[in-house]
Amino acid sequence: MRTVLIKGPILSRSGYGEHTRLVYRSLKSRPDLYDIYIEPTVWGTTSWSFSGTADTEEILRCIKKSEHFRGKYNLSLQVMIPNEWQNIAEKNIGVTAGIETDKASALWVNSCNQVDKIIVVSNHAKNVFENSKHMIENPQNPAAPPVEIKVNNEIEVIGYPVKNIDPASLDLDLKTNFNFLTVAQAGPRKCLDATVRWFVEEFKDNEDVGLIVKSNLSKNCIIDRRQLTHQFRQYLAPFADRKCKIYLLHGALTEEELHSLYVMDSTKAYVTTTHGEGFGLPIFEAVYSGLPVLAPAWSGHVDFLYKRYTKKNGKNDKKPLFSKVKYSLEKVQEHVHWENIIIPNSRWAFSDQKSFKKGLRNIYETHGHKKKLALELKEYIEQEFAEEKIHNKYVEAVNSVYPPEVFEVSEWLKEIENNIEVHE
């Protein structure tokens, strides 16, 4: 049995937190292969959660166990951004949601070559890493010609699994029967202000249409709620006479409570004007909940918005089962630049206002047809992203880096025991 360290924000309420928990659950599915240890990290300023999942007690036990471990782990899986990966075990796997833009920094590219394998959640992330190249000067010899660096390591794509979640009602007092939903942190990348403003502009005279927004800035505290509420008042100030409704939900929800937003009878579609996604977990949950989706057709979420199939001539093709928002790839805004993460001259998607509004109206007027397509996509995704399939992919990825022993001693002893002849 191999000793495996999982390092990442496993206790945080974040996408990387969910990603770390996925890695843990995948390895936990094979207790015969892995002796799991956990080193929790933070993720930005997001809140931590010590309870609320079936795994909590076991996760805490693995954390406590790691405090007493001595020596070197056989293997590590580090769920974090690439520049945080370290050589802390005999073999090291870097696991990351990757990137929302079209270019990775030189630091990230170099970090990708320092581990034994890379796992990302989408083909978008894989393609960006593989296509990011930088010319680097040698600081020890400035006269020498610059050297090109690129990712030379193996990159494997493993997405998230479909979850079977029983909804827990939030008992919301909604006044509208036709509601759109968006779940997004109120930061620059999600472009939430455009989603809200364009929705209001399209349905300002319709009193039966609403937009449910589950959001926060970084935490689920009262100060965060006050700041976010102030932002929304600014968004909506020009529309004081609107008849459509905006429902702002803030605060910590359980998985069951969050899932109820996707499956309520009055929730009719999921919408987003996101600039880019490493994967897009809220969009993914909308898909496997059977909601029609309106989104720009760029970045990580396109992995699960198309149905792939083989044509009669044997060629592979894919069918879009969502409503596309037209977009343009443009440079990331200067105020969003983040050293070594979101770099100058990188680009992401800017949704087209007219296209988004047209998509909203089309879903509203032809909802029956859109729902039929959504249910077709749901059925496909439930097979392609089945939990057992995703867990097996992680196990196979780990075994490719650190193969199991030729035979396990316990199995060998069991075989001997079964072959012993008993004589009286």
Q: Are 295 and 283 in contact (CB under 8 A)?
A: yes
| 124-169 pLDDT, tens digit each | 999 999 999 999 887 788 788 888 999 999 999 999 999 999 999 8
Distances (CA, A) of 297 to 20, 325, 364: 27, 7, 20
Relative orientation angle of helices 255-263 and 281-288, to the nearest 10 degrees: 60
What is the rounded distance in angstroms from the CA atom of residue 359 to the CA atom of residue 319? 18
Amino acid present at 149: I
* 3-state secondary structure (DSSP) of residue 108: helix
Which pLDDT value is given to residue 142? Answer: 79
All domains of the chain in start order, with CATH: 2-158+386-401 (3.40.50), 178-384 (3.40.50.2000)
| 192-227 pLDDT, tens digit each | 999 999 999 999 999 999 999 999 998 889 999 999
**Secondary structure string (H, E, C) spanning 1-41:** CEEEEEEECCCECCHHHHHHHHHHHHHHCCCCCEEEEEEEC
Amino acid present at 321: L
Q: Which residues contact 187 (CB under 8 A, 6 or more apart)?
A: 217
What is the rounded distance in angstroms from the CA atom of residue 323 to the CA atom of residue 362? 9
What is the rounded distance in angstroms from the CA atom of residue 272 to the CA atom of residue 97? 19
| 26-56 pLDDT, tens digit each | 999 999 999 999 999 987 666 666 555 668 8
Q: Which residues contact 383 (CB under 8 A, 6 or more apart)?
A: none
Which pLDDT value is given to residue 262? Answer: 98
b/e string for 343-374 if b means 16 or more Cβ within 10 A?
Answer: beebbbbbbbbebbbbbbeebbeeeeebbebb
Distances (CA, A) of 272 to 184, 243, 269: 9, 21, 10
Which pLDDT value is given to residue 53? Answer: 62
Which residue in the block uniquely carries the two structure tokens 């000067």? 137
Segments of the chain with pLDDT less than 50 = 406-407, 424
